[in-house]
Amino acid sequence: MSTPPLDIEKLSIHENNSPTNLSFIENSDHNGIVGAKPVIIDNKLSISKYGDNINVFLAPLTNHHYKYNIRNKYINYINNDTSIIENKNDNFSIHKPTLQESIDFSSIDTSNCKIIGLLSSWIDLGTKDALINKISFNIISNEILIAHYNHITNVVISPPKNVNNISNYCEILIKLLKFIKQNNLNITISISLPIITTDDLDYLSTWELWLKIKTLCNNDPNLNISLALLQSYSSANLDFLNKWVFEPVGSLLLSSSIFLPNKFKQPVLNKLNQLIVKKFQSQTGNDFKILLHGLEKYPDNEVTYIEYMNYITQKISKQSKQDTSNNNNNNNNNCFTESKNKEILYSELHYHIEQAFQTTLKTLLKLNKDAIHILVVKPDFDGSIIKTILKNILEMNKNNKDTNIIITVMEDNFINFNKITYLNKNKWGNILNLVDSLEEICQAYDT
């Protein structure tokens, strides 16, 4: 069975047109980076229509020439090489992309712009064919190197085309993640997946698929997700989002096909998708991306989509800031009240501790014990409890010099053991026997 279609307008190399890509318009006034998809002309990103606000681009790393050359080489190989029959493919190699086969990023100022790479989706990841798997890995590893050379730190990869081959898909993914680590590359891989509600849980569920992938990849930190929104869902219950906001979701993919015309015939999102955008934008940070694609179908209306999403994200941001401000004011008032209450409670607690300690110490001293062990194990953040213990010991043990009082202070306690030792030696006449570990007490008992 195949995974649900992503409808991402085939974010890769098309048969009869140039490669496509996503780019993002960043606005410092809101938490989301709204993205658009310009075309590629003459092997370069065509971004002039977006003005000066664009500073992040998601783009393919190789073009259709690379695809055709690899395909032709593969076809000639399997038609002419008898080693295929013997299942030998070691002599089949994939060349690194030439300048004519790669996207030209030289016009992009990488000091002011960030590029997100798109790995080729025309390859078949994770088949049962060893040669196809070898070709696929070599292609994307070459593209990973191109990303590295262009200071790209994030790339997007397509999901498995057949979930029955999920293990084979993950084998290539694991190999790719290992390749990144072995070459000390600062690159994160994002898997594009369609978001599915809880009512859609089945073998094709995005959630189940993601759990399998991240488990097989041992929760690799260089792996995250780009979720694609749908036009409609089988459930209006947003509870299914609660699990996703705790996963490494780096972006939402919004196809132009999920927008609906309002009464003014302008593109808008339905209420559910607006809530999904709000949920993710509010739960994540300033790097969260909301990526529009498929806008090349509406060249005269492309800016309208972008302005609408900018409006949505700015509205969410203002609401989030207002909520944060209100919460901070409430928290400040609550903290002041709680602080006063805690101060009173702590004072009362300290008094009861001192009274209990005095009663216990008096009882022990009357028994004429050779030694009394006092173990301080709880954190004493201001040192007041230990000071109380010392004060009472000094006052109550003046006339009972034959009883050794041993205080054990655990290493993670606030009071420094060396400081207590210094005070005992220089100010308290060595009235206390101090040890800094339970092991010393045990050794004393053993002897």
pLDDT of residue 102: 93
Q: Count other C-beta atoms under 10 Å from residue 103's C-beta.
A: 26
Higher pLDDT, 280 or 353: 280
Residue 439 has pLDDT above 50, yes or no: yes
Higher pLDDT, 83 or 371: 371
Q: What is the mean pLDDT of residues 21-38?
A: 55
Do 22 and 56 form a contact (C-beta atoms < 8 A)? no
Residues 365-419 pLDDT 10s: 776 666 776 766 555 545 566 667 777 776 776 666 666 776 665 554 445 566 6
Residues 280-313 pLDDT 10s: 888 776 678 888 888 888 888 877 888 888 888 8
Q: What rounded mean pLDDT belongs to the chain?
A: 75
Residue 360 has pLDDT above 80, yes or no: no
Higher pLDDT, 393 or 444: 393
Distance of CA 204 to the CA centre of its chain: 24
Distances (CA, A) of 299 to 15, 37, 310: 21, 11, 18
Residue 264 has pLDDT above 50, yes or no: yes
Out of 49-53, 273-277, 317-321, pick the least confident: 49-53
pLDDT of residue 418: 64
DSSP strand pairing (54-60 vs 22-26): antiparallel
pLDDT of residue 178: 96
Topology adopted by domain 22-327: TIM Barrel (3.20.20)
Do 9 and 121 form a contact (C-beta atoms < 8 A)? no
CA distance 243 to 345: 39
Residues 35-53 pLDDT 10s: 777 778 888 887 777 766 5
Structure-token pair, residue 38: 């310009």
Q: What is the mean pLDDT of residues 87-104?
A: 81
Higher pLDDT, 161 or 428: 161
pLDDT of residue 88: 54
Please report which confidence band the pLDDT of residue 231 belongs to, taking 50, 70 and 90 as the band edges: confident
Residues 109-155 pLDDT 10s: 767 777 888 999 898 888 888 889 999 999 999 999 999 999 899 99
Angle CA 195–251–162, to nearest 5:
45
**CA atoms in the 13 A half-sphere facing the CB of 330:** 6
Please report which confidence band the pLDDT of residue 70 belongs to, taking 50, 70 and 90 as the band edges: very high
Out of 88-97, 250-259, 261-270, 405-414, pick the least confident: 405-414
Please report which confidence band the pLDDT of residue 225 belongs to, taking 50, 70 and 90 as the band edges: very high
Residue 75 has pLDDT above 60, yes or no: yes
Residue 270 has pLDDT above 90, yes or no: yes
Q: At what angle do helices 64-80 and 130-149 cross, to 10 degrees?
A: 150
CA distance 414 to 434: 16
Residue 446 has pLDDT above 60, yes or no: no
The alpha carbons of the chain give a radius of gyration, in whole angstroms, of 33
pLDDT of residue 13: 31
pLDDT of residue 10: 34
Per the document, the length of the chain is 447
Residues 2-11 pLDDT 10s: 443 333 333 3
Q: What is the mean pLDDT of residues 151-169?
A: 89
HEC sequence for the chain: CECCCCCCCCCCCCCCCCCECEEEEECCCCCCEEEECCEEECCEECCHHHCCCEEEEEEECECHHHHHHHHHHHHHHHHHCHHHCCCCCCCCCCCCCCHHHECCCCCCCCCCCEEEEECCCCCCCCCCCHHHHHHHHHHHHHHHHHHHHCCCCEEEECCCCEHHHHHHHHHHHHHHHHHHHHCCCCCEEEEEEECCCHHHCCCCCHHHHHHHHHHHCCCCCCEEEEEECCCCCCCCCHHHHHHHCCCCEEEEEEEHHHCEECCCCCEECCHHHHHHHHHHHHHCCCCCEEEEECHHHCCCCHHHHHHHHHHHHHHHHHHHHHHHHHHHHHHHHHHHHHHHHHHHHHHHHHHHHHHHHHHHHHHHHHCCCCEEEEEECCCCCCCHHHHHHHHHHHHHCCCCCCCEEEEEECCCCCCCHHHHHHHHHHCCCCCEEEECCHHHHHHHHHC
pLDDT of residue 341: 63
